[in-house]
Structure 1
Amino acid sequence: MALSANLFLRQNQSLVMTPQLMQSIQLLQMTHLELMHFISQEVERNPLLEMTADDGDLGGEIPDNADRHGSTSQQETHADDTAAAPSLDSDWYEHGASERLSDRLDTNYDTAFTDEGSAQRPDAPELLGQWKSMPGQSGEGSEGFDLDDFVAGQISLRDHLNQQVPFALTSAPDQLLAAVLIDHLDEAGYLRADLGEISARLGISLTDIEGVLKTLQTLEPAGVFARSLSECLTIQLQQRDRCDPAMAVLVDNLELLAKRDFATLKKICGVDEEDLIDMLAEIRKLNPKPGSSFEHSVSESVTPDIVVRPDGQGGWQVELNPDALPRVLVNHSYMAAVGRKGASKETPDQAFMSECLQNANWLTRSLDQRARTITKVAAEIVRQQSAFLDHGVDHLRPLNLKTVADAIKMHESTVSRVTTNKYMMTPRGLFELKYFFSVSIASAEGGDSHSAEAVRHRIRTLITQESPEAVLSDDDIVDQLKSGGVDLARRTVAKYREAMNIPSSVQRRREKRAMAKVSAG
């Protein structure tokens, strides 16, 4: 068979992921902090982009032809958005531009390098109105200070221990060894190191290391430098002078305590039931993670993206949170000034500015599209879960991404990106949007299905209300749920109970009966 070359004309369709489309998808999934970081980078590299201040006063006016991105509504932009960077026009490049720049920025360069020094901040802003001699008093109340200057700094566990080491250990070698041991502490305050390995690496005897460790275990917080949970509790009991022989035996048998095997504990500790309950109450006062009270990472507050309020007519009003959305402007005046300057010929500067204008317009449109998409998804979630907002978690309906996507004519992946790391402030609290999506559980009576989160809440409520004489087993919970219209298997009840860290019926019966006897006595 002879081979030959032929030309064919074929037409087909394909999805092309342009860089801008990929960035639009990433914008949709970004959290508030990630979005602000991304926009700040774009503002730095694009001279046409400006981010307005939240206080609405930067000393300039927004150009009439500037694109703006509103942050409170999906249908209209802010009419009161009067904050913008100073407009840039061709006058800036005329004679006396430096004077105009100085006037617009309200800056006096003649006194920029004087010996007067920087303005002093007030020592206590709440006393400005009473003490006129206080640094920072301007005669107009308590304006002009930054509350961040008065926020107490957070100390880490390592810094807290390093402050105590010089008072507990006097010799320099012991202090150096203490610094090594401090570096091996985890976030809970436990020592996660092999003393034998440290002894071989530093050339120090194991006896000396154990002696330093024993001294370090007397530092605050109590229980630090422990190598196990039992040792941590023992250290705290010793500092409270409560580590008697019976308590020591109890701490050595924490696995029996976890199983609520009070009969065996009474036998091996040699105490009666009342003494055992007192010992358990003492154990509950201890801190199993002494280092957890110190900051190990920067705490980040959650900013809700959606705010839900009653509309006064029996419904709910869904709004975007203005604090969670940036306000970005495109400075067309600056673009026009650059265009007039080189209008005679095409220059590299004009090509660069044209690209910046295209990117700036794309970013503002993407932010606006992101706001509309978030609002549309949140409004549909509120519509589906209005019973939850009215009556509580018992009325949370089963919901999945496909249901919301079909209702708002979007793809499931888009809904998934919108609901990732986005939060909604409701009259019942702050919830992640993913919270409203749960598995559907069939009804025992053939009615509407139930949400898995609502069923877990029912199980928790049933166990909380049980008495010591009538502790509910998993089978009993299944029967009560079925009588309430929820068809659930026993193994599913056990799985939900274990996920909520609720002990079994045998363990709960032992604990509640023991507590009831002590209360009756």
Structure 2
Amino acid sequence: MALTPRLDLKQSQQLVMTPQLQQAIKLLQLSNLELADFVAAEVERNPMLEVGDPNDFSAGEVDRPQDSGTAELLTEGGSDGGDGSDGLIAADNALNGAVDTMSSAEGALDANMSLNIYNNDSVSDRVEKTDTAGEIGASGSLSYDGGGAVQTSGGYSGENNFEAMLADGENLHDSLTSQMMVTLKDPIDRLIATHLIDLVDESGYINGELADEVAERLGAASEDIDRILEGLQTLEPAGVCARNLEECLAIQLKDLDRYDPAMQALVENLPLLARREMTKLKKLCGVGQDDLTDMIREIRQLNPKPGLAFGGESVQPVVPDIFVFKNKAGLWSVELNTDTLPKVLVNNSYVSELSETATGKEAKAFISDCVSGANWLVKALDQRARTILKVASALIKHQESFFQHGIRFLKPLTLKDIAEEIDMHESTVSRVTNNKFMSCPRGMFELKYFFTSSIAAGDGGDAHSSESVKFRIKELIDAEDPKKILSDDKLVDILKKEGIDIARRTVAKYREALKIPSSVQRRRQKNI
């Protein structure tokens, strides 16, 4: 073999993660609200982009596509006789071709972009989405009352701004300050009280060690600090400015004139109450079982965090990304929440105007980059919308029993099952289901909720979902007789009789995940 240099030509394929591909993958992970922030930043950066009203179909200067962006999926029993995912993938491919050939950018999704999933016993004729299919309504707000009922209201009217949504009530700090100004007249006392109020956290507690530091910082006597702190502890709500839980409960009991020696002994031995050592408590308090039970009942009625009555940090409500409902034809429909999705458009008139007036090489390159980026963003948003619909539709198909009958009929499901059905990679399905929420007649659920591990059936039948088994364990414990508390071994026996092959350690793990105490602790709790 000759050792001579030579030139070989080799052809290979590889996937290159371009910046645009990385950005498209990132878009899949964003929720609708996060996506709106991202789009707002892109519109601010790219002058060729505009955000249009999803419900406004007056074109103006912006070109709009003719395709409606609607796809349908037939399950078994449909007219084509094939797999439902094949029909959806075919529709998706057709839409991809339409997007590639469009000269102008289309919106992230149209107002009527929806997916109808036919039941297995549906007729072969395709039923188009009716005007009343939006029983939940993409343009209206949705709330769930916890009992299976869905309530809707009209869409956003534009009358309220962000500032109007802020809470008008005063916070804990302001309330304590205003009360202190009434009770204290001496300027020095007010100065010390102001420093102490600044140390109060949102739960209403004050750090005792920091209170001691105030005396050193202000050069005041410790007796004055204690005196003023006692005065602050008389303010509303009762129990505020306490240094620990014991003091907080004692303040509230004194306010109710219920802080007698027996109650004081109970409050001073809260660890024994937490461990349910009732025999020791009865001895320390010098009372019988009935009196101790009444005292514990009074303790439970107190507020361990009085400051929270003013509210802590504002809680961001969960906004659904997907609506699932039944239309008038009795078919499950999946629809994206267009209220939280901006409609991104390219102003072709502005592009033409700039192209005609631009003379320099740099100006033309800038316009070209902006147009290319705008077209890519719209296509990526459109593909994201269709991908979410495909994943959601596959979830409905696999978990139809859950939507029909409840959590006990939830089936085991993995990312691989959905990925194979819609012909995508598992990582793509994982990104789509990340931080996405589905609103259905049974409540609000994260898409990840529907992916559960399986528990084998004792009779060799279909496996059970771990979530449905957890729900059954909770049902059994909630319904147990206080005089016959169910142990983990007893729960295993009951579940095996119901066809669920489960080990005792698994029952214990699920019970702990549900934050349900052991049988010994439950026996103590239910016998009080």
TM-score (norm 1): 0.78
Mapped partners of 2:468, 2:193: distance in 1? 51
Secondary structure, aligned partner of 1:67: coil
Amino acid corresponding to residue 504 of structure 1 in structure 2:
S
- State whether residues 478 and 490 of structure 1, in contact with CA within 8 Å, keep that contact through their aligned partners in structure 2: yes
* Structure 2 counterpart of 1:387: 401
Secondary structure, aligned partner of 2:527: helix
Aligned residue runs from structure 1 range 458-469, under 5 A: 458-469=472-483
CA apart distance, 1:391 = 0.8
Secondary structure, aligned partner of 1:431: strand
2:106 is the alignment partner of 1:68: yes
- State whether residues 304 and 321 of structure 1, in contact with CA within 8 Å, keep that contact through their aligned partners in structure 2: yes
Residues 1:21 and 1:406: Cα distance change in structure 2 (over 3 Å): same
Aligned residue runs from structure 1 range 180-219, under 5 A: 180-192=195-207, 194=209, 195-219=211-235
- Equivalent in 241, 244, 249 of residue 265 of structure 2: 249
Amino acid corresponding to residue 503 of structure 1 in structure 2:
P
Amino acid corresponding to residue 254 of structure 1 in structure 2:
L
CA apart distance, 1:446 = 2.4
Aligned residue runs from structure 1 range 119-134, under 5 A: none
Amino acid corresponding to residue 489 of structure 1 in structure 2:
A
CA apart distance, 1:61 = 5.8
Mapped partners of 1:176, 1:25: distance in 2? 56
Aligned residue runs from structure 1 range 297-336, under 5 A: 297-312=313-328, 315-336=331-352
Aligned residue runs from structure 1 range 27-66, under 5 A: 27-53=27-53, 56=56, 60=60, 62-63=62-63, 66=104
Mapped partners of 1:307, 1:510: distance in 2? 44
Secondary structure, aligned partner of 1:299: coil
2:187 is the alignment partner of 1:172: yes
Aligned residue runs from structure 1 range 366-381, under 5 A: 366-381=380-395
- State whether residues 155 and 295 of structure 1, in contact with CA within 8 Å, keep that contact through their aligned partners in structure 2: no
* Structure 2 counterpart of 1:426: 440
CA apart distance, 1:272 = 2.0
- Equivalent in 279, 295, 312 of residue 263 of structure 1: 279
Note the alpha carbon deviations across 1:283-305, whole angstroms, 9 max, x for none.
12111111223333233222211
Mapped partners of 1:338, 1:33: distance in 2? 32
* Structure 1 counterpart of 2:291: 275
Mapped partners of 1:154, 1:298: distance in 2? 13
Mapped partners of 1:361, 1:201: distance in 2? 62
Corresponding residue pairs, total: 446
Structure number, greater radius of gyration: 1
Secondary structure, aligned partner of 1:68: coil
Note the alpha carbon deviations across 1:48-86, whole angstroms, 9 max, x for none.
11101356399946435742212442689xxx9xxxxxx
Higher mean alpha-carbon deviation, 216-225 vs 181-190, is at 181-190
Note the alpha carbon deviations across 1:155-194, whole angstroms, 9 max, x for none.
3322222222212333333333333333333332222351
Aligned residue runs from structure 1 range 407-418, under 5 A: 407-418=421-432
* Structure 2 counterpart of 1:128: none
Aligned residue runs from structure 1 range 333-372, under 5 A: 333-342=349-358, 345-372=359-386
* Structure 1 counterpart of 2:251: 235
- Equivalent in 168, 174, 178 of residue 159 of structure 1: 174
CA apart distance, 1:4 = 10
Secondary structure, aligned partner of 1:304: coil
* Identical pairs, percent: 51
Mapped partners of 1:482, 1:312: distance in 2? 41
- State whether residues 309 and 316 of structure 1, in contact with CA within 8 Å, keep that contact through their aligned partners in structure 2: yes
Residues 1:365 and 1:150: Cα distance change in structure 2 (over 3 Å): closer
Mapped partners of 1:364, 1:327: distance in 2? 9
Amino acid corresponding to residue 341 of structure 1 in structure 2:
T
- State whether residues 168 and 216 of structure 1, in contact with CA within 8 Å, keep that contact through their aligned partners in structure 2: no
- State whether residues 156 and 295 of structure 1, in contact with CA within 8 Å, keep that contact through their aligned partners in structure 2: yes
Mapped partners of 2:409, 2:20: distance in 1? 42
TM-score (norm 2): 0.77
Higher mean alpha-carbon deviation, 193-202 vs 297-306, is at 193-202
Mapped partners of 1:294, 1:19: distance in 2? 47
Residues 1:190 and 1:495: Cα distance change in structure 2 (over 3 Å): farther
Secondary structure, aligned partner of 2:517: coil
Amino acid corresponding to residue 459 of structure 2 in structure 1:
E
* Structure 2 counterpart of 1:25: 25
- State whether residues 166 and 175 of structure 1, in contact with CA within 8 Å, keep that contact through their aligned partners in structure 2: yes
- State whether residues 261 and 507 of structure 1, in contact with CA within 8 Å, keep that contact through their aligned partners in structure 2: no
Amino acid corresponding to residue 350 of structure 1 in structure 2:
K
Mapped partners of 1:59, 1:175: distance in 2? 64
* Structure 1 counterpart of 2:512: 498
- State whether residues 346 and 374 of structure 2, in contact with CA within 8 Å, keep that contact through their aligned partners in structure 1: yes
- State whether residues 53 and 342 of structure 2, in contact with CA within 8 Å, keep that contact through their aligned partners in structure 1: no
Amino acid corresponding to residue 73 of structure 1 in structure 2:
M
Mapped partners of 2:312, 2:8: distance in 1? 65
Note the alpha carbon deviations across 1:96-130, whole angstroms, 9 max, x for none.
xxxxxxxxxxxxxxxxxxxxxxxxxxxxxxxxxxx
* Structure 1 counterpart of 2:97: none
- State whether residues 74 and 371 of structure 1, in contact with CA within 8 Å, keep that contact through their aligned partners in structure 2: no
CA apart distance, 1:502 = 2.1
Secondary structure, aligned partner of 1:337: helix
- State whether residues 189 and 225 of structure 1, in contact with CA within 8 Å, keep that contact through their aligned partners in structure 2: yes
Mapped partners of 2:21, 2:114: distance in 1? 21
Mapped partners of 1:466, 1:256: distance in 2? 26
Secondary structure, aligned partner of 1:241: coil
> Which 5+ residue runs of structure 2 have no aligned equivalent?
65-102, 117-130, 132-156
Mapped partners of 1:491, 1:181: distance in 2? 50
Mapped partners of 1:400, 1:378: distance in 2? 14
CA apart distance, 1:334 = 0.9
Higher mean alpha-carbon deviation, 462-471 vs 156-165, is at 156-165
> Which 5+ residue runs of structure 1 have no aligned equivalent?
81-142, 515-521
Aligned CA RMSD, in angstroms, stands at 2.9
CA apart distance, 1:22 = 1.4
Amino acid corresponding to residue 174 of structure 2 in structure 1:
D
Amino acid corresponding to residue 67 of structure 1 in structure 2:
A
- Equivalent in 456, 463, 481 of residue 449 of structure 1: 463
* Structure 2 counterpart of 1:111: none
Mapped partners of 1:21, 1:176: distance in 2? 60
2:434 is the alignment partner of 1:435: no
* Structure 2 counterpart of 1:474: 488
Mapped partners of 1:254, 1:169: distance in 2? 34
Residues 1:487 and 1:180: Cα distance change in structure 2 (over 3 Å): farther
- State whether residues 412 and 465 of structure 2, in contact with CA within 8 Å, keep that contact through their aligned partners in structure 1: yes
Secondary structure, aligned partner of 1:51: strand
Amino acid corresponding to residue 390 of structure 2 in structure 1:
K
